[in-house]
Amino acid sequence: MLADFLPLLAEAGVALLKVMVFSIPEALAIGALAYSLTGEKFVWWKLLIPSLITGVVMGVLAFLSEDKMLPFFLHVLLYVVILSEFFSVCRLAVFWRVLTAVAFATSIYLLLEFLNMGVRYLCHVDLYKSQATFSAKFFSFLPQFIAAGLLAFVFNKGKINLFVTKGKEV
């Protein structure tokens, strides 16, 4: 009887791992953008812990969802709520600053995702084929992840943030 369930468990584990490969870096990219927009000094664990937890939660929710695409509004709302809450728990900044930074970061990331899709469409890349295999999906995700990381780096090094934080400037 247990032998009947082992292949199903193995298949479910691989499917969950494939979801996590994309949800954790996505949460890390949004977290890096939000962190840089707060204007706070960089403390690695204040970025890594909330981003990892958010990525795992969103990955599990996406895996458990019947509809493989969570309803868009719900997905964005959950990202904002979960990431803001965990940044606040890690005392990154005052809750309203964190909420504003996460909302802006999510909007910026969605714009990058839209531009990535637009460039693939304009270059006549078949959007269905780019989602067919794991490697194709990974390489189609990579440009927006790199762009978000570079943008967070530019915001951080250029001291471009949403708030004036006396004594805590980057």
For the segment 131-137, the average pLDDT, to the nearest whole number, is: 78
- ∠ Cα 164 94 110 (to 5°): 80
Q: Is the pLDDT assigned to residue 105 strictly greater than 80?
A: yes
Where do runs of H (alpha helix) occur along the chain? 2-38, 44-64, 72-89, 95-122, 134-157
- Could you read off the pLDDT of 47-102 as tens digits, one per residue? 888 888 888 888 888 777 766 666 778 888 888 998 888 888 888 778 888 899 99
Query: Has this prediction a pTM greater than 0.85?
Result: no
Task: Please identify which residue in the block is written with the tokens 């570079």.
Answer: 150
Predicted pLDDT of residue 168: 55
Q: Rounded mean pLDDT of 103-111?
A: 93
Q: What mean pLDDT is predicted for residues 139-150? A: 90
Average pLDDT along the chain: 82
pLDDT exceeds 50 at position 170: no
**Rounded Cα–Cα distance for residues 166 and 55 (Å):** 31
pLDDT in tens, 13-39: 677 777 778 888 999 999 999 989 888
Question: What is the rounded distance in angstroms from the CA atom of residue 2 to the CA atom of residue 32?
Answer: 43
DSSP 90: T
**Whole-angstrom Cα distance, residue 158 to residue 105?**
16
Domain ranges of the chain: 2-157
pLDDT over threshold 90, residue 153: yes
